[in-house]
Structure 1
Amino acid sequence: MSESDGGSGYRERASRLGGGAVVWSRTLGAGPQRVLPDGCTDLIWIGGQLLVAGPDTRAHLAGGPAGTRAVGLRFAPGTGPSVLGPPACELRDQRVPLAALWPEAEVRRLRERASEGRVGRVLEAVALDRLRDAEPVDPVVGEVVAGLSGGRSVAEVARVVGLGARQLHRRSLVAFGYGPKTLGRVLRLNRALELARGGMPFAEVAAVAGYADQAHLAREVRGLAGVPLGGLLG
Structure 2
Amino acid sequence: MGRTARQEAAFLAARAGLYREHAPSPVLEAHFCCLWSHDIHDGPNRRIAIVPDGYCDIVWMGGRLLVAGPDRSGAFPSLASGEKIVGARFAPGAAAEWLKVQLCDIVGQSIPLDDFWGAAALRLNELLGACAHSDERLSQLETALEKEVAKRAAPARDMASVFARASDISPCRNVTDLMLDDLSIGVRQLRRRCYTHFGYGPKTLARIRRFQGMLSLCRSKKALPLAALAVAAGYSDQAHMTRDAREISTLTPMQLQQQIAG
Is TM more than 0.5 here?
Answer: yes
* Pairwise CA distance, 1:4: 4.7
Q: Which residue of 1 aligns with 2:35?
A: 23
Any stretches of 5+ residues in structure 1 without a counterpart? Answer: none
Tell me the amino acid that sits aligned with residue 157 of structure 2: P
DSSP 3-state at the match of 2:117: coil
Q: Which residue of 2 aligns with 1:56?
A: 71
Q: Contact 1:218–1:229 at 8 Å: present in 2 too? A: yes
**2:109 aligns with one of 91, 94, 119:** 94
Instruction: Identify if the C-alpha distance between structure 1 residues 208 and 92 changes in structure 2 by more than 3 Å, giving closer, same or farther.
Output: same
Q: Contact 2:92–2:155 at 8 Å: present in 1 too? A: no
* Cα RMSD (Å): 1.8
* Pairwise CA distance, 1:71: 0.9
DSSP 3-state at the match of 2:29: coil
Aligned counterparts of 1:143 and 1:229: Cα–Cα separation in 2: 28
Q: Which residue of 1 aligns with 2:53?
A: 38
Q: Which residue of 1 aligns with 2:189?
A: 167
* Pairwise CA distance, 1:47: 2.3
Q: Which residue of 2 aligns with 1:211?
A: 235
Instruction: Identify if the C-alpha distance between structure 1 residues 5 and 230 changes in structure 2 by more than 3 Å, giving closer, same or farther.
Output: farther
2:153 pairs with 1:135: yes
Tell me the amino acid that sits aligned with residue 128 of structure 2: A
Q: Which residue of 1 aligns with 2:19?
A: 10
Q: Contact 1:221–1:227 at 8 Å: present in 2 too? A: yes
Aligned counterparts of 2:192 and 2:149: Cα–Cα separation in 1: 23
DSSP 3-state at the match of 1:60: coil
Q: Which residue of 1 aligns with 2:168?
A: 150
Which structure 2 residues correspond to residues 70-81 of structure 1 after superposition, within 5 A?
Answer: 70-81=85-96
Q: Which residue of 2 aligns with 1:126?
A: 144
Which structure 2 residues correspond to residues 107-122 of structure 1 after superposition, within 5 A?
Answer: 107-117=121-131, 118-122=136-140
DSSP 3-state at the match of 2:157: coil
Q: Which residue of 1 aligns with 2:81?
A: 66
Aligned counterparts of 2:79 and 2:206: Cα–Cα separation in 1: 31
Aligned counterparts of 1:207 and 1:4: Cα–Cα separation in 2: 26
Listed one character per residue, the Cα deviations across residues 64-87 of structure 1 (whole Å, up to 9, x for unaligned) are 332121111122333222322212
2:207 pairs with 1:193: no
Aligned counterparts of 1:78 and 1:6: Cα–Cα separation in 2: 29
Aligned counterparts of 1:201 and 1:131: Cα–Cα separation in 2: 46
Aligned counterparts of 2:18 and 2:203: Cα–Cα separation in 1: 33
Q: Which residue of 2 aligns with 1:183?
A: 205
Deviates more, 1:51-60 or 1:200-209: 200-209
TM-score, normalised by the number of residues in structure 2: 0.82
Aligned counterparts of 1:74 and 1:36: Cα–Cα separation in 2: 14
4+ runs deviating over 4 angstroms: none
DSSP 3-state at the match of 1:121: helix
Alignment coverage as a number of residue pairs: 231
DSSP 3-state at the match of 1:33: strand
Deviates more, 1:58-67 or 1:79-88: 79-88
Q: Contact 1:82–1:131 at 8 Å: present in 2 too? A: no
Any stretches of 5+ residues in structure 2 without a counterpart? Answer: 1-11
Tell me the amino acid that sits aligned with residue 18 of structure 1: E
Instruction: Identify if the C-alpha distance between structure 1 residues 125 and 228 changes in structure 2 by more than 3 Å, giving closer, same or farther.
Output: same
* Pairwise CA distance, 1:185: 0.4
Tell me the amino acid that sits aligned with residue 222 of structure 1: R
Listed one character per residue, the Cα deviations across residues 94-120 of structure 1 (whole Å, up to 9, x for unaligned) are 0111121111x2122201221343121
